[in-house]
Structures are given as C-alpha cells and as structure tokens.
Structure 1
C-alpha cells in the first residue's frame, strides 16, 4: 500500500478540550492539521463489499475516498480529508490467519502515517472477528502503546441493534436471523460475550463525561470494550467518545459506526468534496450475484419479477481449477444488443457439493470470468452491480482494476463509484453486501442505472 500526500507532513500538539472535565491520556498526542495533508483514515475490512459500504459513509460526508483493490495500488491524498479502504478477504479465515493479515495491513498504515484506523466487521458478526480485532490492536499499539478497542457492530439504520448484550436483527436474535443459517459463515450465538471472547460490556450513558470515564476505566491497554447501541443517538455518543480518546482507541464496527465517525472526524477537515449523484450512462448493466445469502437470492428473484422485459438471467456452474473457462454462451450473449440488464448467479445447488465455504471461491472465479467476457466483448457495457464480497473481489481482480473511486450512495449500504485501472477503467460500479437491503433493492439500483422509473413490463 502506497499513500502519498501532496503536502509536507508535520505534527503539533492539539490542546485538550477546555469544555471537558475529563482529561484523556491521549490528549497530548492528538494530531492537528498544521502544514500537512488533512486527516487520513485507514479502513481494514473483512470483505470487499464491507470495505465499500463503510467507505461510502465517509464519501457521503465529503471525504476523498479510495477503495484499494490491487496489492500495489498507489493513491495520492490531497489537502482534503482522505480515507482509504482495503478488503483483506479475512472473513472466512481462521482467527490466527485473520490476525496476521490484519496486523500486516495496519502496520503498513502505521508506517505510512495514517492518523486513525477503523476495523470494519460484519454487522451480523460473521467470520473471524476476534482475530481481526487482535491483529489490528497489536499493530496499532506500535503507534499508540495504550490502545484499546471499542467495538460496536450495531447498525440501527439496517435494523441491527445491541440490547442487554445481545445482537438483534430487526428484532430477531442474531442466531435466528438469516445470519444464523448463512451457508458460508453461520453465526451460532446472539451474545456479544460469545462472539468477542474476553470483551467487557458497557452501555451508553446519558452523561458524556460519565460515559468517557467508564470507557477509561474499562479500556486498559490491549482490552476489548463492547458498547451497546439501539439508536442513532447512541451511535453518535460512541463516535464522540472514540474521538475524545484520539489514536488511543481502535474502533471496530459496521458501516453504521463508520458513518458517525466520518461526521465527528470531518470537523477537523476543510475543503470537503460533496458526494455526486449518479447520472444515467447509455449502455448495458451486468448484475453479478455471487452471494448465496437468502436475502440476496430473494433480491435477485425480485429483480427478474420487476424487469421481465429488459433483464435476462443466466446461471453458472462453478468453474474447476484456478482459471475457469468462460461459459460457451458468454461471448454470444455479450455481443447481443439485448438484454439491457444481465443477471449472473451460481446455479442453485451448485455450492452444495463439498460445502458452500469450499465452493465459494470457485463460484466467484466462474462469474468473474464471465463478467470479463461481457466487458471485453459486449456491446456497450457501462455498469456493473456486484453483490457479495468474494465475487466483487474476484470480478475486480479479473478486470485488472487498481482501485475504485467512491462517488456516492444509491441506498443505505449501496455505494457506487468509478473503476480505476484495468480493462473496465472509468465504468460505473455498484457494490452491495449479500445480506443487506430490502427485497426490491436490486430493482431500484437497476432503475437508476438504466434511467427507468418503476417496473418495466
């Protein structure tokens, strides 16, 4: 990872807030913007759609935002606040391997002078979250030896809240929600104490000073503190407390907490860039759904119901080997003037042999290869919609993309941007996590991209 700054780097001490009666031990090391590039934040995520949906929370509030794809990606952060996000594909890794991958990337961020780091985890706590937290905290402690983690995966805007130490999804205990039956990374408990072993639990207090004091008491070096949250007001209070501790805290959460931190940290910035509105570009849209989450499958079915006259669906079998052969029909369909919308999915049941976890990379590579065929040989492909983190990463790698410059959002958890580098440079890309969104979200995305309102019959 190489992140350059167009201004020289220098630091000065930021004075402690005179309005607060609490003095943080990190106050004397907080960085101010003085003759250097603006604040720089690094996001490490466990999959690509998570890296994007947390990043767009910053972009929507004016931050210059880059999603790095290739290992050798290089970006220049200018004089506006800048955030860089990278997917580590660590969700399905064992905890020790996830810790190693996360520590390596966070160490690079420390080396490159990032002011803050954010660990983006799944809002339904799937995957190797304990390992990701451990790796990030170990690496960041080289910059801030007293660092501890503040963990809040809640995302009230998407129905994820923490009540009495339990994570609920739209009022349902986590293990009884679709996350509990996820074919790749099922979650077996709703208790945060089980999901983050060794963590201490705290509730947001009405009194800001009292809340900060409690975090100070629990937040010993290297410790994990989980904070309950049910409302956006709770999330805002957590973000303000995290900001109080400066680089002493490694925040861990979903895109929900990222949005509030973007607003709090934004106060230090100048010259913010407003997000852009997507405008229809003539051309065809390829929708690649590699997620086998039941939420995304229902969304794909709804897309076909809403757009039967303009959308076609093709099912793919997982390819075999390291380089799957493009399906025979891919180039033929790519060359047709119709359909304006092409939906690609793994064939139902194709992920059952050997287990969904084992077949997920094959599914991703197979669909990624087909997408590349459409981009190279298709008639006027102007946009891609990628649903599912593994598949999104595979598609961007197949296209040779270096990065994505985030421009804005189409819906909660649905960022869009432009590809940087590769054979699809400049094309519009939309990403969405498999478990996110209402049932008609893909229909809405397609409506915006092809410039039609409502259902097309």
Structure 2
C-alpha cells in the first residue's frame, strides 16, 4: 500500500477513495479499497491506496485523536509511504475540534511540521483564497453551513478557526505562493515548519492549484484536506514507476433497490423534492419515531411494497424543524434513534435481498455501513463528483454513500441506474 487515508466520516471516505481511483486525466489512479473502521487483519496485497473510514467528525476531540492514531498505526503497518487526513470540504468542525487536534496528533506521531491544510474541492464549488473558505460565490459562513445542526461553521477564516483548536502556530501559504509552482510551495512549507508552524492553510481555487500542491507534497509524509487534495497524489507514484495507473471497470449489479436519506443539507432536500415528483417517498417524522408511532417495520413495508420504483425514505427536514426536534428531545437522542432506524432498516433490506442502496448524509451512511458489517469495499466508477459506486467483496451489493451537499438534482435515481450499469 502506497497511500493511506484516515477519513473522519463514511461519505468523505468514499469521496477521497473516488479521487484516488480516478487520478489525473490521462494518467489513471490507484487500486483503492475503503475500510469500514480500522481492519483487524492485513490489506490485500494488490491494494495501492487504502481509505479507513471513521465516524470521528462529531465525537469528543480526545476520542477522535485516539481513533485516528489507531488508523495511522494500521496504515503504516501496511507499508504506506504517505498519509492523508481527510475531512469535509466545508471544514465541518466546532471551535473545540476535531480537525485541529487530530491533524496535530498525526503530525506529532510522524514527526513533521509545515503540513498542508487544504479543504478545497473546486469541482464542488469549494475554494480557498487568502485562507478563507468559499462555497461557490459565498463565504462559508454565508453558505448555509452556519446553520449546520452539528457543526455550524460561523467563520470562513480557516487559519483563525484552526487556531482555536490547536496548540501550535498555524501558517498560511497564500495564492501568491501557490501560483509560483510546486518548488516555491515546497520551500514555503519547509520554511513554515522551521518557524514552528505545524499546520499551514494552503490556498487553492482550481484543479491546477491542487496539482501544484500534489507535486509539492510528493514526498510529504502527511497531508490534510478535502478529497481534492488527493487529486494529483497518485501521479507521483505512477510517474516514478511505483504504481501502474488503473482503469476502472464495473459491470453493474441488478436487483432490489432503496434510498435512505438523513441529511438536512439544502442539496439533499432539493434532491428529495425532485425525486418525489416521479417516485414513491416516505417522510420520517421525528416526533413519530421518538414516540414509537413510526417503526422500522413500517419503513421496511413501504420500501418493499414499492420495490422497482426507486422508493425513498427520508428524515431530512429544514434547519428550523431539525433544531426544534433537537431542543425537544435532545440532539444526541434524536441522532441515536434515527441512526438505529436507518441502520436496522438497511440491514434487514439487504438480508431480504436488496442489492442497491443509496444513502444520503454522513452520519446516516456511518450508521448503515456499521449495521451492515461490511469489510473492505472496492471503489467503482463515479456517479457525480465526489460520489463513487462502492461494492462489497462478493460483488453482490452496490452502495452510494453521498455527502449531504453533493450530487446533481436527479442524483438519487441516477445513482440507482448507475449501479445497475445503465
């Protein structure tokens, strides 16, 4: 294994696994596997990039550090030459963690400073300029992320946000440096390390900037960022003859299908609205779930009765309604009950023969994948930017784990068609 990734949620893991599998146009990517948590045994010998998916984004920072260091230990044991700490391209965190503490802990364990921090993903409209994160033409704090129910991002200045989370100085490699090319950026990162800056927020507004970052970090033991930061990393190994550059192939998996959505992002709510115009949908009312009036068996019955029609069950609501439910029952209680509902529903569906699953939302995806007890997943073709098809080792189950903000308006039906090879 050449590259090892520690991802702080399941959809983000799929996102960067997709990036590593694709690589740069014309050069190919790496044979990539995604693992649901830290594996107990060794990776298969042909895997060139391994992505360990954790559920560490919203847990206490100390616990996130412990989990991440455990993943690092396993990846190093597989021979990884480069580690990537992957977090969301909207830098989902709070002033108390978890991105800064985990990044610092990984850097300390690897003995490095001047480590890139770059959540940019231009293909999805996430860019960084002068250390400030934008979502398309809006600052992060004006993009809707300031209303996120778990990790409200109220400050777009990533350097300032990280300073609240970390113990050591945070640097900036601005566009003026990135625009001078990989040699200039490599030197700037080295100088930042000499100044004692462990983490360095690095500007990127286009894929060409990400290529500069990838070339500058060809020999870097540690990189942190969104999936975009990995865009050019496979090419470093391919050009040195250490990897062949793989081409993705996928024949498709037919069979019963289901869509489960727990994300409250604007993009997912719009996808639900579009899907509901032509497909059966079931709105999961939080009050009904918390009171026991709506059970998992009812959700299962709805999906199975509508098999073949791309049925969708969702708990996604507008931020005001979500906040009201959290205030009434408690944020953790609501999250735990919904996660259990979605996870158990997915497990029973697969046991009864469902072969294609689309899951929207990071926490929901984590709950589903853990309930299914899947091992290593192979990364198939991309459905939409940042969302690939994942298949189990037996090739009998196809999954799409979609971050809440990702995907085109017709993504839900489109994903099911892609899984069937259509």
Instruction: Compute the TM-score of the two structures, normalised by the length of structure 2.
Output: 0.85
Of 258, 283, 293, the residue aligned with 2:230 is 258
1:138 aligned partner: 105
Q: In the alignment, which residue of structure 2 is the partner of 1:217?
A: 191
Shift of 1:183: 1.7
Partner SS for 1:104: helix
Once the two structures are superposed, what CA deviation does each residue of 1:72-91 show, in whole Å capped at 9, x if it has no partner? 45353335x61111122111
Q: Which moved more, 1:65-74 or 1:382-391?
A: 65-74
Matched, 1:228 2:181: no
- Mapped to 1, the partners of 2:77 and 2:276 lie a distance apart of 48
- Given that 1:93 and 1:127 are in contact with CA atoms closer than 8 Å, whether structure 2 keeps it comes out as no
1:162 is aligned, of 128, 134, 138, to 128
Distance in 2 between the 1:427 and 1:228 partners?
39
* Counterpart check, 1:287 vs 2:249: no
User: How far 1:209 moved relative to its partner?
Assistant: 2.8
Unaligned runs of 5+ in 2: 23-27, 164-168
List gaps (5 residues or longer) in structure 1. Answer: 1-38, 453-457
1:40 aligns with 2:2: yes
Report the secondary structure of 1:374's partner residue: helix
Contact kept, 8 Å, 1:152 with 1:226, in 2: the verdict is: yes
Q: Distance in 2 between matches of 1:262 and 1:176?
A: 34
The structure-2 alpha-carbon separation of the partners of 1:177 and 1:331, relative to structure 1 and needing over 3 Å to count, comes to closer
Residue 257 of structure 1: CA displacement? 1.1
What's the CA shift string for 1:197-250, capped at 9, x where partnerless?
Answer: 13111121424433322221112366111111111111111111111x432xx2
Query: 2:25 maps to which residue?
Result: none
Report the 3-state secondary structure (helix = DSSP H, G, I; strand = E; otherwise coil) of the residue aligned with 2:56. coil
Residue 344 of structure 2 aligns with which residue?
A: 369
1:276 is paired with a residue whose SS is: coil
Q: Which has the larger radius of gyration?
A: 1
Matching residue of 1:62? 29
For 1:450 and 1:242, locate their aligned partners in 2 and report how far apart those are by CA, in whole Å.
38
Q: Does the C-alpha gap of structure 1 residues 148 and 105 become closer, same or farther in structure 2, counting only changes over 3 Å? A: farther
Runs of 4+ in structure 1 over 6 Å off: none
Classify 1:140/1:224 alpha carbon distance in 2 versus 1 (closer, same or farther; 3 Å): closer
Between Structure 1 and Structure 2, which shows a larger proportion of helix residues?
Answer: 2
Quote the Cα distance in structure 1 between the aligned partners of 2:139 and 2:316: 30
TM-score (norm 1): 0.79
Q: Alpha-carbon deviations, 1:397-448, whole Å to 9, x = none?
A: 2222122111221110111121247xxx721111110112333322422343
Tell me the residue number matched to 2:216: 241
- Closer, same or farther: CA 179–347 of 1 in aligned 2, 3 Å: closer
Give the one of 389, 412, 415 matched to 1:416: 389
| Equivalent position of 2:362 in the other structure | 389
The answer on whether the counterparts of 2:120 and 2:226 sit within 8 Å (CA) in structure 1 is yes
Secondary structure of 2:223's counterpart equals strand
> How many residues were matched structurally?
399
Q: Where do 1:219-368 residues align within 5 Å?
A: 219-220=193-194, 223-243=198-218, 245-247=219-221, 250-268=222-240, 269-277=242-250, 279=252, 281-305=253-277, 307-308=278-279, 311-315=280-284, 317=286, 327-333=296-302, 335-336=304-305, 338-346=307-315, 348=317, 349=321, 351-352=325-326, 353-356=328-331, 358-368=333-343
